Amino acid sequence: MADIIKVGMADMNCVYPPNTLVTLGLGSCVGVCLYDRETKVSGMVHVMLPYSHQIKNNSNLAKFADTGISKLLNDMIVMGAKKSRIISKVAGGAQMFNFNDSSDIMRIGARNVQAVKETLKNLNIPLISEDTGGSYGRTIEFYSETGMLLVKTIGYGTKWI
Protein backbone atom coordinates (compact mmCIF):
# COMPACT_ATOMS: atom_id res chain seq x y z
CA MET A 1 0.00 0.00 0.00
CA ALA A 2 1.55 3.29 -1.11
CA ASP A 3 1.54 6.25 1.23
CA ILE A 4 1.00 9.80 0.01
CA ILE A 5 3.45 12.15 1.65
CA LYS A 6 2.63 15.87 1.53
CA VAL A 7 5.36 18.39 1.06
CA GLY A 8 4.38 21.85 2.35
CA MET A 9 5.76 25.23 1.44
CA ALA A 10 9.51 25.56 2.11
CA ASP A 11 9.48 21.92 3.07
CA MET A 12 11.07 18.71 1.75
CA ASN A 13 10.70 14.97 2.01
CA CYS A 14 12.19 11.75 0.63
CA VAL A 15 10.51 8.37 0.24
CA TYR A 16 11.16 4.79 -0.83
CA PRO A 17 8.89 3.15 -3.43
CA PRO A 18 5.95 2.71 -3.72
CA ASN A 19 5.22 5.96 -1.88
CA THR A 20 4.13 9.18 -3.57
CA LEU A 21 5.18 12.77 -2.87
CA VAL A 22 2.59 15.54 -3.29
CA THR A 23 2.63 19.32 -3.23
CA LEU A 24 -0.68 21.17 -3.43
CA GLY A 25 -1.15 24.56 -5.09
CA LEU A 26 2.31 25.54 -6.32
CA GLY A 27 2.35 29.12 -7.52
CA SER A 28 5.53 31.12 -7.93
CA CYS A 29 7.31 28.50 -5.85
CA VAL A 30 9.06 25.63 -7.61
CA GLY A 31 8.67 21.92 -6.92
CA VAL A 32 11.94 20.08 -7.54
CA CYS A 33 11.83 16.27 -7.74
CA LEU A 34 14.98 14.15 -7.56
CA TYR A 35 14.95 10.47 -8.48
CA ASP A 36 17.41 7.60 -8.32
CA ARG A 37 16.44 5.40 -11.25
CA GLU A 38 17.84 2.23 -9.67
CA THR A 39 16.82 2.32 -6.00
CA LYS A 40 13.80 4.53 -6.85
CA VAL A 41 14.51 6.67 -3.82
CA SER A 42 12.56 9.86 -4.52
CA GLY A 43 12.73 13.33 -3.06
CA MET A 44 10.77 16.55 -3.41
CA VAL A 45 11.54 20.06 -2.21
CA HIS A 46 9.16 23.04 -2.40
CA VAL A 47 11.44 26.02 -3.03
CA MET A 48 10.22 29.57 -2.31
CA LEU A 49 13.22 31.76 -3.07
CA PRO A 50 16.31 31.59 -5.30
CA TYR A 51 19.46 31.88 -3.17
CA SER A 52 20.01 31.64 0.57
CA HIS A 53 22.86 34.17 0.63
CA GLN A 54 20.53 36.92 -0.67
CA ILE A 55 18.39 36.72 2.48
CA LYS A 56 19.29 37.29 6.11
CA ASN A 57 16.74 34.96 7.60
CA ASN A 58 17.95 31.76 5.94
CA SER A 59 17.84 29.08 8.61
CA ASN A 60 15.23 26.98 6.78
CA LEU A 61 17.27 25.17 4.12
CA ALA A 62 14.20 23.97 2.19
CA LYS A 63 13.15 27.55 1.47
CA PHE A 64 15.91 28.20 -1.08
CA ALA A 65 16.83 26.60 -4.38
CA ASP A 66 20.55 26.25 -3.60
CA THR A 67 20.42 24.91 -0.02
CA GLY A 68 17.14 23.02 -0.57
CA ILE A 69 18.36 20.92 -3.48
CA SER A 70 21.74 20.18 -1.81
CA LYS A 71 20.06 19.10 1.42
CA LEU A 72 17.55 16.94 -0.45
CA LEU A 73 20.37 15.27 -2.39
CA ASN A 74 22.26 14.50 0.84
CA ASP A 75 19.14 13.11 2.53
CA MET A 76 18.54 10.84 -0.46
CA ILE A 77 22.14 9.60 -0.41
CA VAL A 78 21.67 8.72 3.27
CA MET A 79 18.61 6.70 2.18
CA GLY A 80 20.71 4.73 -0.29
CA ALA A 81 20.50 6.79 -3.48
CA LYS A 82 23.64 7.29 -5.55
CA LYS A 83 24.40 10.77 -6.87
CA SER A 84 25.52 9.56 -10.30
CA ARG A 85 22.12 7.94 -10.90
CA ILE A 86 19.99 10.88 -9.83
CA ILE A 87 17.85 12.77 -12.34
CA SER A 88 15.46 15.69 -11.80
CA LYS A 89 12.06 17.00 -12.83
CA VAL A 90 10.83 20.50 -12.11
CA ALA A 91 7.40 22.21 -12.06
CA GLY A 92 5.99 25.56 -10.93
CA GLY A 93 7.49 29.03 -11.07
CA ALA A 94 4.35 30.74 -12.38
CA GLN A 95 3.75 34.46 -12.40
CA MET A 96 0.37 34.63 -10.68
CA PHE A 97 -0.21 38.37 -11.08
CA ASN A 98 0.60 40.46 -14.12
CA PHE A 99 1.70 44.04 -13.99
CA ASN A 100 3.00 46.17 -16.83
CA ASP A 101 6.00 47.35 -14.87
CA SER A 102 7.04 43.88 -13.77
CA SER A 103 9.52 44.47 -11.00
CA ASP A 104 12.03 41.84 -9.92
CA ILE A 105 9.83 40.85 -7.06
CA MET A 106 6.90 40.06 -9.35
CA ARG A 107 9.13 37.92 -11.56
CA ILE A 108 10.02 35.73 -8.61
CA GLY A 109 8.65 32.60 -10.34
CA ALA A 110 11.06 32.95 -13.27
CA ARG A 111 13.93 33.75 -10.91
CA ASN A 112 13.17 30.66 -8.84
CA VAL A 113 13.20 28.44 -11.95
CA GLN A 114 16.49 29.95 -13.05
CA ALA A 115 18.10 29.39 -9.63
CA VAL A 116 16.85 25.79 -9.57
CA LYS A 117 18.34 25.11 -13.01
CA GLU A 118 21.67 26.69 -12.08
CA THR A 119 21.83 24.66 -8.86
CA LEU A 120 21.04 21.42 -10.68
CA LYS A 121 23.70 22.21 -13.25
CA ASN A 122 26.31 22.91 -10.57
CA LEU A 123 25.50 19.59 -8.94
CA ASN A 124 25.62 17.79 -12.31
CA ILE A 125 22.06 16.52 -11.95
CA PRO A 126 20.36 16.12 -15.36
CA LEU A 127 17.01 17.90 -15.78
CA ILE A 128 14.80 15.39 -17.60
CA SER A 129 11.58 17.38 -17.96
CA GLU A 130 9.89 20.52 -16.71
CA ASP A 131 6.56 22.31 -16.66
CA THR A 132 7.33 25.84 -15.55
CA GLY A 133 6.19 29.42 -16.04
CA GLY A 134 2.70 30.47 -17.13
CA SER A 135 0.27 32.33 -14.91
CA TYR A 136 -1.50 29.46 -13.17
CA GLY A 137 -1.12 27.26 -10.12
CA ARG A 138 -0.14 23.60 -10.16
CA THR A 139 -0.60 20.57 -7.92
CA ILE A 140 2.14 17.99 -8.45
CA GLU A 141 2.35 14.29 -7.58
CA PHE A 142 5.61 12.39 -7.91
CA TYR A 143 5.35 8.59 -8.18
CA SER A 144 8.46 6.82 -6.92
CA GLU A 145 7.52 3.52 -8.59
CA THR A 146 7.73 5.05 -12.09
CA GLY A 147 9.58 8.31 -11.60
CA MET A 148 6.70 10.09 -13.34
CA LEU A 149 5.48 13.52 -12.27
CA LEU A 150 1.77 14.37 -12.61
CA VAL A 151 0.98 18.09 -12.99
CA LYS A 152 -2.62 19.19 -12.34
CA THR A 153 -4.02 22.68 -12.96
CA ILE A 154 -7.31 24.53 -12.88
CA GLY A 155 -8.33 25.28 -16.46
CA TYR A 156 -4.97 24.37 -18.02
CA GLY A 157 -5.32 20.59 -18.09
CA THR A 158 -3.37 17.75 -16.53
CA LYS A 159 -0.16 16.24 -17.82
CA TRP A 160 2.55 13.71 -17.05
CA ILE A 161 6.12 14.81 -17.37
Partner 1 sequence: MAISINDLNSEQIDVLKEIGNIGAGNAITALSKMVSKRIDMNVPKVNIVEFKEVAELVGGPEKIVSGIYFNVSGDISGSIMFLMDNNSSRTLINWLMSKNETSMEFDEIEVSALKEIGNILAGSYLSSISTLTGLKMTVSIPSLAIDMAGAIMSVPVILFGQVGDHVLLIETDFIEGLNRVKGNFFLIPDEKSFEILLKSLGVI
Contact residues: partner 1, CB under 8 A: 8-11, 24-29, 48-49, 55-57, 60, 63, 94, 96-99, 103, 105, 108, 135-139, 154
If the CB atoms of residues 81 and 116 are measured against partner 1, the closer one turns out to be 116
In what side-by-side order are the strands of the sheet with 4-6? 4-6, 20-26, 138-143, 148-152, 158-160
If the CB atoms of residues 97 and 160 are measured against partner 1, the closer one turns out to be 97
If the CB atoms of residues 47 and 120 are measured against partner 1, the closer one turns out to be 47
Distance, in Å, from the CA atom of 58 to the CA atom of 142, rounded to the nearest integer, reads 27
In the complex, minimum distance from the CB of residue 108 to partner 1, in angstroms, rounded to a whole number: 5
Handedness of CA 65, 23, 79, 39 (dihedral sign): negative
List, in sequence order, every beta strand (DSSP E) within the chain.
4-6, 12-15, 20-26, 30-36, 42-47, 86-92, 127-132, 138-143, 148-152, 158-160
In the complex, minimum distance from the CB of residue 127 to partner 1, in angstroms, rounded to a whole number: 22
- Does 18 sit behind a cis peptide bond, omega within 30 degrees of 0 on the bond before it? yes
Residue from 14, 29, 65, 86 carrying the catalytic annotation: 29
**Do residues 49 and 114 touch, judged by C-beta distance below 8 A?**
no
Distance, in Å, from the CA atom of 46 to the CA atom of 67, rounded to the nearest integer, reads 12
Is 14 one of the catalytic residues? Answer: no
If the CB atoms of residues 99 and 124 are measured against partner 1, the closer one turns out to be 99
Active-site positions read 29
